[in-house]
Amino acid sequence: MSGKDDTMFEEISDAWELVVGLEVHTELKTTTKLFCGCSNQFGSEPNTNICPVCLGLPGSLPVLNRHAVELSIRVGLALNCTVQASLFHRKNYFYPDMPKDYQISQYDLPLNIRGHLVLPSGHRVGIERAHMEEDTGKSSHLGGSGRISSASASLIDYNRSGVPLVEIVSAPDIHTPEQAREYVSELRSVLVAVGASDGKMEEGSLRVDANVSVRPRGSTELRTRCEIKNLNSLRSLGRAIAHEANRHIALYESGESPTQQTRFWDESGQVTGALRTKEEANDYRYFPEPDLVPLAPSQEWIQSIRDTLPELPQQRREWVMDLCGEATTNDRIETAISDELYPFLVATLRSGLSPQRVVARTSNELAAELPLPNYFSTERFVEICSLEERGELTPTQVKTLLTEATHDDAPISELIARLGLVAISADSLAEIVNSVIEESPAEWTRFVEGEQQLRGFLVGKIMKASKGKADGKVVGEMLVERVSAAKKVG
Amino acid sequence: MTADPSIFEVARAVQDGSQACLPTVEAILATIAAREPEIRAFLFHDPEQVLREAQAIDDRARAGDVVGPLAGVTVALKDNLTTEETPTTCASKILEHWVPPYSATVVERLRAAGAIVIGKTNLDEFAMGSSTENSAFQVTKNPLDTTRVPGGSSGGSAAAVAARFAHVALGSDTGGSIRQPAALCGVVGFKPTYGLVSRYGLIAFASSLDQIGPFGRSVEDAGALFEIIAGHDSRDSTSLDRPAPQVLDRKDRGVEGLRVGVVADLVNFCSPDVVRRCREAADGLARAGALVEEVSVPATTLGLSAYYIIAPAEASSNLARFDGVRFGLREEGADMTETYVKTRSAGFGAEVKRRIMLGTYALSAGYYEAYYGKAQRVRTLIIRAFDEIYRRFDLLLCPTSPTTAFRTGDKANDPMAMYLNDVCTIPSSLAGHPAMSVPFGEGDDGLPVGVQLLGPALSDPLLFQAAFVLQEMANEHKRLSAARLDRTDRGGDV
């Protein structure tokens, strides 16, 4: 995400406040589908993971997948929701990729209600509900604009039909495009952390709809909103929200009002367009699904799930921030607490190594080597970072060693020997510094007199003379010492 | 009059070789060949296949294999039960050529027990009707009087058993669709407690009401078939997690001390000859030692109105999938919406369309509370009224159908008159309770009358216990009349 470009697109009038609520659909990472035993695997040959149930053949019946319920409860608990006795409803509407022409979803009694999510910025977004439902199949419309109305033919892949979803509905607590992105990004981390989702927006495992309205700043009213469907990247999300808000503002400022609509984001034109108005909206005729019994998880079950919840991103963030203090940037911390890197960070921190240094090594050098090979254990990372901590290797040498150690499973000592990575002793370094000063007397004098630009020149010469074995930081400190010594003498 | 062997006896004889299956099946096929052109009970019937299966069972029995508790027993299946590789139509044009890739759980259980599927039987389209006249393909006649309807919606199954086209049959009952045709055709029909028989593979009409059940020429046969098909099925979430109840061991237990209430409110809807038979049945149970009392359960009369909201509401959703996209009829239109409209307009009959529209309306925004919501509250009211009455009574008794079999065409153009046929059967459907129709004498027109036993949830064995007694009384009555006729004849000779 290139911050500057996006914020340019996301400027909104100071007189108006943006009000956004997000509906995020996440596919659950179960082995099988929500109501049948078919495989829930992305990317199979079309129409290979199907059976009478997920094809909605006459006479077939749904049977609820217990693992999907467990993952849904994990999501609810991670979002601080209350888990309640719930009911499945049928949402009735016709569409070719929905085999039964109704979707089994939850309506007035969802599984998880009333939670919240605290964003890295500290902003708190209310969660109204997180309910279970089944996914539809996937249509590809051939010919025309790519929409069904103008298509010459449509192909339907029912592999996705019946894949378990959790729909997470936020309160209208989001007030900037940046907050919307932050919310989705944090929600994604939570879903991945609890093992509910693989979080792959590009594969559709996370799909976002945004309800957007604006109001005069300082007001608390909720004005007419428009729902923008299928915002499937953080970039589109921010831009679509800003565009839609500006459209509303322009309408209000010219004396008109927006009408309640479902809209889509046109990526190529960078505008939103109307799909259907409220009058054209479906009457879904919700009623309780008679083929399923009420879902009332026992308190014991809920507690046992709560007991196995992992550490959530916010908890990781707080812990690392406490250790590092102000000095480390948020970006570095966010990278270091990601699922792939966090175990390495934890291992180094638990070994008592300097927090700022290991956050830097984790979020920069180690992150650059993702995905890590299996033999690259947390112990291996601790061993390498300890060499730097004890001054046995310079940062430059550690970076070289890290790259090598993620590509070659030889023991660390062997790699060090092979690469000739021996930290230079303080005495030899002092000798090199002396000889560089002697070789460049004019530059040295100007440096002592305060010409700081020459610092790089001198450090460079010293590093070169040490064949990269010197620690740049130590060299810098040494130069400072020499300058003050020279000034005293002078 | 020698009684027929029960279906378990038929199977035992096949197993031990004392009566091979093939000759029995050949005799049944001959009966079908003779009368089916007039009765028209079957939508699918393949004599060759039936003969092959019969031969295979005899071969296995001779080889000493265990051929199952229903070995060689012929079963007719209502054509809303899916059968792998055999067409399943629901008597609807929209499914005319559909061949399911899987069999219903009950069909699997029958086959595992060694039963032979003799054919798929006619019904009112999607089980919506009470005369089997709503079939898109043919009108089935009542074997006892072919100017009359067999009842419905499981009219083909009832007629097949009454005409001896099969030993037994399966039907489905949503508001009386097993019990009413059983009464009109003079056979036993049983609707089990909701959840005792798996609905997997039953093409849904109204999911919260649909229940599969047996037809038999005797209480024994209906009970034997029920014991085979009942029991938990993990593929149906509403299937009760308990073993199949035993009902045959209730024979000869009698009704001494059983408290039986005769439901006065429902009796009032029925013709005098039907009411008379019901009172005779009540008197008979009293003579056999039951404590019989007339009771009023006013809530039961509300059942009809609630049913004709709830069942169409569920149907409007259940039948949405017949859209021409994946299976069945497709009438191509210029776009998707037109394809939906043309397919469904051409594929569904008038009664199905009527109920889809009723149900869609009842669930619509702004009307939901006034119709569907209210109907559900009435349903709760009826359940509570039953709960109350079953504190005082073990079983209830009332007629099954207000009249004996009516003439084909008489009610076909009057939906309200047709709906009223279900007034006595609907209350236990709404409550999910078991109910059974047992033949008990005849009406003034000489056609059979069925009396209905109702009980609370899971009282299925008790219903059978009382049904055995009623059957015994009805048979005794038949023997006496026959003997009387005999004497009169002889007297005439003298």
- Tens-place pLDDT, residues B243-297: 999 999 999 999 999 999 999 998 888 999 999 999 999 999 999 999 999 999 9
Residues A154 and A297 both lie in one domain: yes
> Are A415 and A444 part of one and the same domain?
no
> Looking at the structure, do residues A193 and A331 belong to the same domain, yes or no?
no
Query: Do the Cβ atoms of A61 and B237 come within 8 Å?
Result: yes
pLDDT for position B155: 98
Give the 3-state secondary structure of residue B346: helix
Look up the CATH number of domain B7-243+253-302+377-493: 3.90.1300.10
Give me the half-sphere count of Cα atoms (radius 13 Å) on the Cβ side of residue B35.
23
Cis before residue A371, ω within 30 degrees of 0? yes
| Residue B231 Rama label (left phi>0; alpha psi -120 to 50; beta) | left
Q: Which amino acid is at A56?
A: G
Give B1's pLDDT tier (boundaries 50, 70, 90): very low
Residues from chain B that touch A293, judged by Cβ atoms under 8 A, are 237-238
Q: Report which of residues B35 and A425 the model is more confident about.
A: B35
CA–CA min distance B468, chain A (Å): 33
- Do A402 and A454 belong together in one domain? no
A291 interface with B at CB cutoff 8 Å: yes
Out of B6, B103, B135, B153, the active site residue is B153
In a shared domain, residues A212 and A274: yes
pLDDT, position A317: 87
- Secondary structure percentages of chain A, helix, strand, coil, to 5: 40, 20, 40
Q: How confident is the model at residue A487 (pLDDT cuts 50, 70, 90)?
A: confident
Chain B residues in contact with A99 (beta carbon < 8 A) = 321, 326
Candidates B89, B309, B318, partner chain A, best to mutate (most A CBs within 10 A): B318
A-contacting residues of B 182-201, CB under 8 Å?
199-201
Tell me what pLDDT residue B462 has.
98
Least confident range from A7-11, A32-36, B356-360: namely: A7-11
Amino acid (one-letter) located at A81:
C
Are A357 and A215 contained in the same domain?
Answer: no
- Average pLDDT value for residue range A288-312: 96
Say if the Cβ atoms of B207 and A290 lie within 8 Å.
Answer: yes
Domain shared by A216 and A256, yes or no: yes
Is B130 considered catalytic here?
no
Give just the sign of the alpha carbon dihedral A283, A147, A105, B323: positive
Nearest CA in chain A to B235: A63
Proportion of chain B above pLDDT 70, given as a percent: 98
End-to-end CA distance of chain B: 25
Q: Categorize the per-residue pLDDT at B219 as very low, low, confident or very high, splitting at 50, 70 and 90.
A: very high
Mean pLDDT of A26-54: 95
Question: Does residue A311 lie within any of the structural domains?
Answer: no
Nearest to A287 among B98, B202, B313 (CB): B313
With 80 as the cut, is the pLDDT of residue A19 above it?
A: yes
- A80-133 residue pLDDT tens: 999 999 999 999 999 999 999 999 999 999 999 999 999 988 899 999 999 999
pLDDT band at A3 (very low <50, low <70, confident <90, very high): very low
Backbone torsions φ then ψ of A348, nearest 5 degrees: -70, -40
Q: Which residues of B touch A62 (CB under 8 A)?
A: 237
Judge: B363–A100 Cβ closer than 8 Å, yes or no: no
The type of residue at B103 is S
Window B:247-286, CB contacts with A under 8 Å = none
The whole-number pLDDT of residue B117 equals 98
Helix axes B272-287, B460-493, angle to 10 degrees: 110
How many domains would you assign to chain A?
3
In this predicted model, what pLDDT tens digit does every residue of B421-445 receive, in sequence order?
899 999 999 999 999 999 999 999 9
Instruction: Tell whether B79 is within 8 A of chain A (Cβ).
Output: no
- Which helix (H) or strand (E) is B34 found in, with range? helix B21-39
Residues of B within 8 A of A52 (CB-CB) are 100-102
Confidence category of residue A9, pLDDT binned at 50, 70, 90:
low
What span, in angstroms and rounded, lies between the C-alpha atoms of B50 and B81? Answer: 18
User: What residue numbers bound the domain in which A436 lies?
Assistant: 426-489
| Interface ipTM above 0.85 | yes
For residues A58 and B89, give the distance between their C-alpha atoms in angstroms, rounded to a whole number.
10
pLDDT for residue A7 is more than 70:
no
Q: pLDDT at position B358, please?
A: 97
Same domain membership, residue A354 and residue A219: no
The closest of B254, B235, B259, B232 to B244, measured between CA atoms, is: B232
Instruction: Please say which residue of A392, A419, A446 terminates a domain.
Output: A419
User: Is the CB of residue B443 less than 8 Å from the CB of residue B271?
Assistant: yes
% of chain A surpassing 70 pLDDT: 96
Contact B161, B215 (CB under 8 A): yes
Compute the average pLDDT of residues A17-45.
Answer: 95
What percent of chain B has pLDDT above 90?
91
Residues 204-223 of B with CB under 8 A from A: 204, 206-208
| B196 phi, psi to nearest 5 deg | -80, -30
Contacts 24+ apart (CB under 8 A), B53-62: B53/B116, B53/B117, B54/B21, B54/B22, B54/B24, B54/B25, B54/B26, B54/B116, B55/B22, B57/B14, B57/B21, B57/B114, B57/B116, B58/B14, B58/B20, B58/B21, B58/B22, B61/B14, B61/B15, B61/B17, B61/B20, B61/B21, B62/B17
Same domain for A182 and A330: no
Q: So what's the pLDDT on residue A1?
A: 39
B156 in Cβ contact with B79 (< 8 Å): yes
**Distance in Å, alpha carbon of A288 to nearest chain B alpha carbon:** 10
The answer to whether B325 faces chain A, any CB pair under 8 Å, is yes
Tell me the chain B residues in contact with residue A285 when contact means C-beta distances shorter than 8 Å: 316-317, 360, 363-365, 368
pLDDT tens digits for B66-125?
Answer: 999 999 999 999 999 999 999 999 999 999 999 999 999 999 999 999 999 999 999 999
Give per-residue pLDDT as tens, B380-417: 999 999 999 999 999 999 999 999 999 999 988 888 88
User: Chains A, B: CB contacts under 8 A, how many?
Assistant: 102
Is residue B378 within 8 Å of B306, Cβ to Cβ? yes
Distance CA A148, CA A96 (A): 10
Q: Do A59 and B100 touch (CB under 8 A)?
A: yes
Q: Which of A419, A443, A477 is the last residue of a domain?
A: A419
Q: How far apart are CA B173 and CA B226, in angstroms?
A: 14
Q: Which residues of A touch B95 (CB under 8 A)?
A: 58
Q: Is B78 labeled as catalytic in the residue annotation?
A: yes
Domain CATH code at residue A475: 1.10.10.410
Q: Do A58 and A132 lie in a common domain? A: yes
pLDDT at B489: 60
Mean pLDDT of B36-48: 98
Sign of the CA dihedral with B3 first, then B8, B11, and B16 last:
negative
Q: Does residue A234 sit in the same domain as residue A251? A: yes
CA angle B272, B275, B276 (to 5 degrees): 85
| DSSP label of A405 | H
Backbone angles phi, psi at B417, to 5 degrees: -60, -40
Q: Kindly state whether A21 is in contact with chain B, defined as any CB-CB distance less than 8 angstroms.
A: no
Of B314, B317, B325, the CB nearest to A96: B325
Residue A165 belongs to some domain of the structure: yes
At B48 the pLDDT is 97
Q: Which residues pair with A208 in a beta bridge?
A: A24, A231
Strands B188-191 and B395-399, how do they pair?
unpaired
Please check whether residue A443 lies inside any domain of the structure.
yes
Residue A76 in tokens: 């609810």
Residue B490 has pLDDT above 80, yes or no: no
What is the structure's pLDDT at B192? 98
In the predicted model, is pLDDT for residue A440 greater than 60?
A: yes
Per-residue pLDDT, A4: 43
Q: Cβ A285–B314 below 8 Å, yes or no?
A: no
For residue A57, the chain B residues in CB contact (below 8 A) are 100-102, 326-327
Q: Which residue of A has its CA nearest to B95?
A: A58
pLDDT confidence bin for A2, thresholds 50/70/90: very low
Q: What is the pLDDT of residues B117-155, one digit of tens each?
A: 999 999 999 999 999 999 999 999 999 999 999 999 999
B153 catalytic residue (yes or no)? yes
Q: Is residue A135 part of a domain?
A: yes
> What ranges do the domains of chain B cover?
7-243+253-302+377-493
Looking at residue B202, what DSSP letter applies?
Answer: B
The residue of chain B with its CA nearest to that of A37 is B235
User: Is the pLDDT higher at A326 or at B383?
Assistant: B383
Predicted confidence at residue A278, as pLDDT, reads 66
pLDDT (average), residues B449-465: 98
pLDDT digits (tens, 9 = 90+) for B310-364: 999 999 999 999 999 999 999 999 888 999 999 999 999 999 999 999 999 999 9
**AA identity, residue A190:** V
Are A408 and A456 contained in the same domain? no
CA distance B428 to B400: 11
Q: Which residue has the higher pLDDT, B25 or A450?
A: B25
